[in-house]
Amino acid sequence: MTSVLSQKEHIVWHQPTITREHRERQNKHKSVIIWFTGLSGSGKSTLAHAVEAYLHQQGHKTFVLDGDNIRHGLCADLGFSDQDRQENIRRIGETAKLMLDAGIITLSAFISPFAKDRAIVRRLMPAGDFIEIYCYCPLAVCETRDVKGLYKKARQGEIKQFTGISSPYEAPEQPELTLDTSRLSVEESIACIVELLNARTVLRTADITE
């Protein structure tokens, strides 16, 4: 039987006719990966969807990759062991890379607790195309926002390997942006993110080569 490895030797990358640059010109903005990371309850998904709503209203092409939603489909077969968490982020990284080539502003909202896994995703992207946003929020505050009751269950031992309780979270050391979501409103956080995108000329159509 031919091994998977030997089969891969016959796979050749097909160069597309329509490139990322073509799509960016058509969309009139650059594509980028905005990667929200932080504890459960830190506001990642809330911010990702709020920023998407703002950008959508401005006519930009966007899509949110949300942690819970992804685990209903693409990563439905994965659990929450360290190995499964790593594979979860690997799959998301590869998906985000495809969306980058599609010319879309992709907002990814995942706890992504391990620094090395986030670093792997960053290395998948061209320099400057991975924007890591650390949604900082004290654990005690996150627990008060626990609408799903997950922290309570984790404290009671009903959920194993829960980030922040029985599994570690490695905070980014040099993210592109840190937002203290225990202090900043959603509107203030959106303003900070949009300011960063403008500083990086993501949203400025004049910087898209004709």
Please state the φ and ψ torsions of residue 63, each to the nearest 5 degrees.
-160, 140
pLDDT tens for the chain, residues 1 to 210: 456 555 667 666 667 788 899 999 999 999 999 999 999 999 999 999 999 999 999 999 999 998 777 777 778 888 888 888 888 889 999 999 999 999 999 999 999 999 999 999 999 999 999 999 999 999 999 999 988 899 999 999 998 889 989 999 999 999 999 999 999 999 999 999 999 999 999 997 655 555
* Structural tokens at position 130: 């991975």
Residue 24, burial from CB neighbour count under 10 angstroms (0-12, 13-18, 19+): buried
User: 3.50.50.60, 3.40.50.300, 3.30.70.20, 3.65.10.10: which CATH number matches 20-207?
Assistant: 3.40.50.300
Domain ranges of the chain: 20-207
pLDDT for 1: 44
Single-letter amino acid, residue 33: I
> What is this structure's pTM?
0.88
The answer to whether the beta carbons of residues 108 and 35 sit under 8 Å apart is yes
pLDDT for 14: 67
112 is catalytic: yes
Q: Which of 40, 45, 112, 189 is catalytic?
A: 112
pLDDT for 73: 77
